[in-house]
Amino acid sequence: MKNKIIPFVSLIVATAFLFSCSSDDDGDNNGGVTGEVSTSKQYKNLEAATDQINDLTSGAINPGTRSSRKSSQKMSDCYTINQELNEDQTSGTVTIDFGNGCEVEKGDTISGKILMSFSFDINGENISITSNQTMENLVFNDMTVNGTTNLVISISGEGSETITTTSKIDFTWADGLTATIEETGKNEFFTNNETLEFYSLSTNNGSATFSNGDLFSFTTSTPLRIEGDCEYPVSGTIKNTENTVTKTLDFGDGECDSIVTVTDAEGNTTTVDLETTDEDLIF
């Protein structure tokens, strides 16, 4: 993906749902604390929806279509991806149309549309990409999803990239429950072109507010650092809150392992192995 325009187009779509991540520990792990939430299941459903939508949109823009200004693809006999570029191919639009109902991977059902626009700005070896994504009457299983994500990708000729996102997504259930997720994110990627060593720094802050009063929030105190082939962050801290119940996740001081230290509001600390734990820690 070095000094190429097209591979980053897929990156636009793949990261357009960066709002989806953070704390999701069930309230019953908090010993009957009065701030216990009642919408942990629904919050998990939001995360499942955004994961699935992210998977579907990650390949929505086909690099092979740059030789043609317009293209249309029928995917899995289910949904359609329509792409259109402007004359100089520096901007364009993509529509993913699920029609009146489309069963996708894992048996999930989606209807409605995802609308995307994107543009390029090239200055020497530096590239800036701006993308906007809108969900139009999208229904995921039993949730109606509406909202927008704005994404800006800055790529330097020196091998670094910065992705900033701003998202506001609304979810509605048939029983009248609603939730709104608002998030800002910054992800920085660094590559040593000589050694090919790679690491990234990730900062995400936001909240999910439910109409029944439940509030999930997440704050990155220290950017999460991911290196090379390490599956989990090697350092960084996140503060997660469910109503009045707070937990802080500390990923250590640079060791490539699966250990995270979890501290509650009273200062009680436990060490969790992410490879073996049954605790649902989302980051």
How would you write the pLDDT of the chain (283 residues) with one tens digit per residue?
Answer: 333 333 334 444 444 443 344 444 444 444 333 467 899 889 888 878 877 776 676 556 544 444 456 656 556 678 888 989 888 888 999 999 999 888 887 888 999 999 999 898 888 889 898 889 899 889 999 999 999 888 888 988 777 899 898 889 999 999 999 999 999 999 999 987 777 788 999 999 999 999 999 999 999 999 999 998 899 999 999 999 999 999 999 999 999 999 999 999 999 999 999 998 876 665 6
Q: How far apart are CA 248 and CA 1, in angstroms?
A: 35
Within-domain flag for 93: yes
Within-domain flag for 28: yes
Taking CA 141 as the corner, what is the angle to CA 136 and CA 145, rounded to the nearest 5 degrees? Answer: 30
Within-domain flag for 92: yes
Within-domain flag for 224: no
Within-domain flag for 109: yes
Within-domain flag for 271: no
Contact 210, 179 (CB under 8 A): yes
Q: How far apart are CA 123 and CA 157, in angstroms?
A: 10
**By residue range, what is the domain housing residue 88?**
6-172+180-210
Within-domain flag for 89: yes
Which amino acid is located at 178 in the chain?
A: T
Helices (H) and strands (E) in the chain, counts: 2, 15
Within-domain flag for 259: no
Q: How many domains is the chain built from?
A: 1
